[in-house]
Every structure is written in structure tokens, then in C-alpha cells.
Amino acid sequence: MKNINLLLVLATVTLTAISCGSKKETPKEEAPKMLVLYYSQTGNTKAVAEEIANKLGADIEEITMVDPYDPDFQATIDRCMKDREQGIIPDIQPVKANVADYDIVFLGFPVWFGTYAPPMQKYLLGADLSGKKIVPFCTFGSGGLESSVKDLVAAEPNAEVLPGYGVRAARLEAMPAEVDNFLKASGFLEGEFVQLEEFPAQHEVSEEEASIFDAAVDGYPMLHAKAKTVATRTLPDGVEYLFTAEDLPREDNPKMPPAGELQVYVTVVNGQAPVFTKVIR
């Protein structure tokens, strides 16, 4: 009887060992390969690109021109306007990264004339990002992320263009915290992030709200507008306003027709002066 019990115990141990030994581990899902590819004229977009790449541990490459623009801002604008009139898109140096090796491509650019700068346009004309996830990011004087995204979707119809990030060059000091929140909210980084509530319905601006709008846009020559309606929402450290404003004739350029209605985002951080964060024309 003892021998029979011993045999049963040994059989049980053997079956358990076989069961444990044959258990297959669930293969870990490979992390997507990410590339940060950008063009920067003044270094602002480069700063955003490096912030994203550092936080994600992504590969990074800068798009460079064969014949770079003049460092002088007005000279660059003059050349761009002349190129646009003549249908010229400046050549760029070959991109070293093999985009086919990546799952997600962060594309960065300054916004000029309402869309991505010509060097990025040149890259997109020769690139095939089909099947890739594209995350746009940009720097601008007043706005242009939304219009740039529309052009990007048209240029790469077989790619998935995800929500992007944009920042005014005048607010670059706020960029690191905003990029961190953006990457976490988009699921690229783990951690807590601020999820803002939707704006409520707009109402007619009060005198106080109109003065906040005027203070935020004061001194910016490319924005001459009057606030009509507004909605507000709470920020962790202040209040954000979404103004609908009427574009007015430019005092410095009377021949330029008004752009109609504008959406102007204004932030008032506790204890600080109002600043506008972006304009959607």
C-alpha cells in the first residue's frame, strides 16, 4: 500500500513539473519605433523636437536645406514670398533615417504663411508615410497648427495623422511642461496629466473680458481684432478664455482685407498678465 501511495505522489509531482515546464510565456508587445523629424529656422522648433525626443527616447533628425535661408527674418520672408510667386520649393539634403523602419513619426516645423515651412513641404513631396502614425508639432507667431494639419492630411492621405502640439515662439518657456502633458495625454508617456473640460457655450463679452482680450493681443502687429463673444474654463493655475473676435483692417497695411471671424485662445495664469496662446483663422 505504501508503494502504491508513493507511486501516486511521484506521478503527481511529475505531471505538475510537466505542466509548469510546458507553460508558455505571453510574448511582450514590442514598443513602437519612433522618429522625431523636424525643420527649424531659428532654433524654436529644434527645442521642441529635442524635448519630445528626450522624453520618449526617440531617434531624431533635422531636415536641412541645400541653400539655407538667411538668418535675418525679413530676408527669409522676402525669399519665401518670391519663391511662392515663382512656384519654387527649396531643395533639402537627403534624410538619413529610413522612415520605413519606424511606426510613429513626429514631424516638426515652423508655420509660415499658414502652413508648414517650405523645407517640410519639400520633404513631404518626396516621402511616402503610408501606414505610419504622424504626430505634427510646430512653432508659430500666432497660430497655424490646425491649417497645417489639413495640408498634412492632404499630402499623406494613407497615413494616420494624430492630434498635434503647437506653441507660440513667444511662449517657448511654457513648452517643456506642455509637451510633457501632451505626450501623457496622447498615451506616449505614462503618468498623470491635466485633462481640460470642454468650453461651455459662448456669451457676449463683458467690459472686463474685453479688456483681458485687448491686453493679451496688445503689441502683436499681426493681430488687430475686437472681441465679440467668449467662453471660459478653469486651468490648474488660472483661467483660459476662448474668444470669437472680428478681424479689423490693419492699420499698418490698409490694403490687406480683414480675415473675418477669428478664434483667439487667451490664458491668464494666477498673478500674471493675459497672453494669447493661439489664433485660428
Residues 43 and 174 in one domain: yes
At 205 the three-state DSSP class reads coil
**pLDDT tens digit sequence for 195-250:** 999 999 999 999 999 999 999 999 998 888 999 999 999 999 999 999 999 988 76
Q: CB burial class (10 A; 0-12, 13-18, 19+) of residue 262?
A: buried
Domain span holding position 275: 203-280
Return the pLDDT at 27.
57
Residues 38 and 153 in one domain: yes
**pLDDT tens digit sequence for 11-35:** 444 444 434 444 455 556 788 999 9
Residues 137 and 65 in one domain: yes
Phi, psi of 114 (to 5 degrees): 85, 5
Pairing of strands 225-235, 238-247: antiparallel
Strand ranges, E, within 113-159: 115-116, 133-140
* Domain final position from 185, 220, 249: 185
117 within some domain:
yes
11 within some domain:
no
21 within some domain:
no
120 within some domain:
yes
At 163 the three-state DSSP class reads coil
Residues 169 and 250 in one domain: no
**pLDDT tens digit sequence for 26-81:** 556 788 999 999 999 999 999 999 999 999 999 999 999 999 999 998 999 999 99
Total domains present in the chain: 2
Residues 41 and 177 in one domain: yes
Cβ neighbors of 50 (< 8 A, separation 6 or more) are: 60
Q: What's the Cα-to-Cα distance from 1 to each of 9, 10, 12, 41, 232, rounded to whole Å?
A: 13, 14, 17, 88, 84
Return the pLDDT at 249.
78
Q: What is the mean pLDDT of residues 116-134?
A: 97
* Domain final position from 130, 158, 185: 185
* Domain final position from 152, 185, 218: 185
Residues 148 and 210 in one domain: no
259 within some domain:
yes
For residues 28-39, one letter each, b for 16 or more C-beta atoms within 10 angstroms of the residue's C-beta and e for the rest, the string is: eeeeeebbbbbb
Residues 243 and 107 in one domain: no
Residues 167 and 47 in one domain: yes
1 pLDDT band, cuts 50/70/90, is: very low
State percent of the chain over pLDDT 90.
81
State the CATH number of the domain containing residue 78: 3.40.50.360
